[in-house]
Amino acid sequence: MHNYELALVVSAQIDDEARASVIENAKALIERFGGQVTDVVEWGKKKLAYEIKKQSEAFYYFIQFDADGTAPAEIERRARIMDNVFRYLIVRTDEK
């Protein structure tokens, strides 16, 4: 198992319940592919460097998880079509 971090940029135009639902869906997606969520960090609302879908602000979330090497590709494939997620990125955070 390796350590990974999923970064999500979520629309600021949705309410708190919908935003929490997006994060719960992402966590369920990680667990569905054999991962184990270890931490969720919310950075809050930040100004974007450039507009995305005519919006200049979004919420940033970072989800740390442990998973096998095949899980990130499947998680990214599913995150691509998640509603209200502007951008996503999974990086491996294992120390050398």
Which tens digit of pLDDT belongs to each residue from 26-80? 999 999 998 999 999 999 899 999 999 899 999 999 999 999 888 999 999 998 9
**Per-residue pLDDT at 88:** 94
pLDDT of 83 reads 87
Say whether pLDDT at 17 is over 70.
yes
Question: How far, in Å, CA of 62 to CA of 5, rounded?
Answer: 6
pLDDT for res 1:
86
Residue 10 pairs in a beta bridge with 59, 85
Task: Work out the average pLDDT over 8-37.
Answer: 92
- Does residue 96 carry a pLDDT above 70? no
pLDDT score, position 69 = 87
| 70 CB burial (10 A radius; 0-12, 13-18, 19+) | exposed
User: What is the pTM assigned to this prediction?
Assistant: 0.88
Superfamily for domain range 2-84: Ribosomal protein S6/Translation elongation factor EF1B (3.30.70.60)
